[in-house]
Chains A and B, each alone.
Chain A
């Protein structure tokens, strides 16, 4: 099946931060979570896909089309939600909708009105008068109303109450009934990923750590808990990161089978959750 997104050798340099050699692909018909700590480069990758920032190197294709050469065509198939939704602050929602709807051939007015009703959004109200959560809901309503084949959502659940967050995730999962649809969303709320994502791309300090099916991560990544001997040089190649705790050491491995073969019953080996991977990669001592 065609990839919804394919990224090769992507690089973006900012003063004090560089996104380095980012490559991953996202098959059509799946949900991919882009996860990583704040400042890791998640939003930069999304902005590069949307051509909101200029890349220094690399290439991005969306449904096989170059995102720069075929920019308008690519964007017409994307529903985009920005991490801090900003439209014309002074305009009422109905005007913003009218302005945006003109751009999409597949705009579904009935669906939009149903979403507005469901989300409890007042169309006559000015955008700047909405709370962050309401702005996010409006942005999501716009993104869902033009039958986009790919949804790109940057921190869509931030600022939302838990009830709506759950509803949104269920709605996103329901969208996947249509096998043409794909979703890329960034978050650092790892429970959202555990609930919905098929693939997880983990980014840390501007580099991709892994981009794998969620089930593969569950199968292969683990936490090894034991004494400080785990930090000895002979074991380090097994670990991606480690941290000392009050009772010993917790080390992160991407090869749980090899860890089981290497260590005897002196250590405890558990499957790693996305959150544990994130914490150990972010706060722990890093290894290769």
Chain B
């Protein structure tokens, strides 16, 4: 697995350096203009999760997949390396983006807003969710899978907005959102903070393990 991760880092080093730098500046400047830590977190986690997506779709675009699959590694190892590298890139980008947002002069958020356990867990949860859903799509459909994911998100947003404008459904959606929020509050208050966070981490890991198993199964079926 080490060789597979090194392979991606070596072959994408310039891309990671230059695109990563520009991306970092972009995320830091725009993130610093938002004064709500939760919205900032949604914004930066989404952008951080795009970083590994860009690296993985480059392999397809630059016709490197046949090379990778002919190297001494099993398809399961190839996917495992992608999940590990994906998480490393997401977490690295998140740390850099957070530092960048806080370092931009006149940032509307301070360290106390972003560097607390609740926001960090929220960020990890979002990244785990995005990553777990997207990776099988990306492995099955490549860049098209990513676009399907983005379009699905937008369609979901439109549907939600349309439903919200219907007064009859307004209450239901609000109550549904409130119910989810209440469930988290209930768990948090009943379990106590450490157990609650441990549970969230277990759920995130389980979600990613299920996604990994699904991705391996898809990748093993692919012909090159």
Q: Tell me how far the C-beta of B117 lies from the nearest C-beta in chain A, rounded to whole angstroms.
A: 38
* Contact assessment for B224 and A103 in the assembled complex, using a CB-CB cutoff below 8 Å: no
| A72 (CB) vs chain B CBs: closest residue | B72
13 CB < 8 A contacts A-B: A52-B70, A52-B223, A54-B220, A72-B77, A75-B70, A80-B70, A86-B66, A87-B64, A88-B59, A95-B10, A99-B10, A103-B3, A104-B72
Query: What 1/0 flags go to B97-141 for Cβ under 8 Å of A?
Result: 000000000000000000000000000000000000000000000
**B221: contacting residue among A52, A54, A89, CB under 8 A:** A54
In the complex the two chains form, what is the Cα distance from A100 to B64 in whole Å? 12
Residues of B within 8 A of A51 (CB): 69, 75
B71 located at the interface, meaning its Cβ lies under 8 Å from any Cβ of chain A in the complex: yes
In the complex the two chains form, what is the Cα distance from A131 to B77 in whole Å? 33
A91 located at the interface, meaning its Cβ lies under 8 Å from any Cβ of chain B in the complex: yes
Q: Tell me how far the C-beta of B114 lies from the nearest C-beta in chain A, rounded to whole angstroms.
A: 35
Q: Tell me how far the C-beta of A103 lies from the nearest C-beta in chain B, rounded to whole angstroms.
A: 5
The SS class assigned to the B binding surface is helix
The count of chain A contact residues (Cβ–Cβ below 8 Å) is 27
Q: Which residues of A contact B (CB under 8 A)?
A: 47, 50-54, 71-73, 75-76, 80, 82, 86-91, 95-96, 98-100, 102-104
Residues of A within 8 A of B10 (CB): 95, 98-99
* Contact assessment for B64 and A75 in the assembled complex, using a CB-CB cutoff below 8 Å: no
Determine the interface band of chain B, counting residues with CB < 8 A from chain A: 20 to 34
| A71 (CB) vs chain B CBs: closest residue | B74
Residues of B within 8 A of A82 (CB): 66, 70
B174 located at the interface, meaning its Cβ lies under 8 Å from any Cβ of chain A in the complex: no
| A79 (CB) vs chain B CBs: closest residue | B70
Residues of B within 8 A of A53 (CB): 223-224
Q: Tell me how far the C-beta of B85 lies from the nearest C-beta in chain A, rounded to whole angstroms.
A: 13
**B72: contacting residue among A47, A52, A75, A98, CB under 8 A:** A75
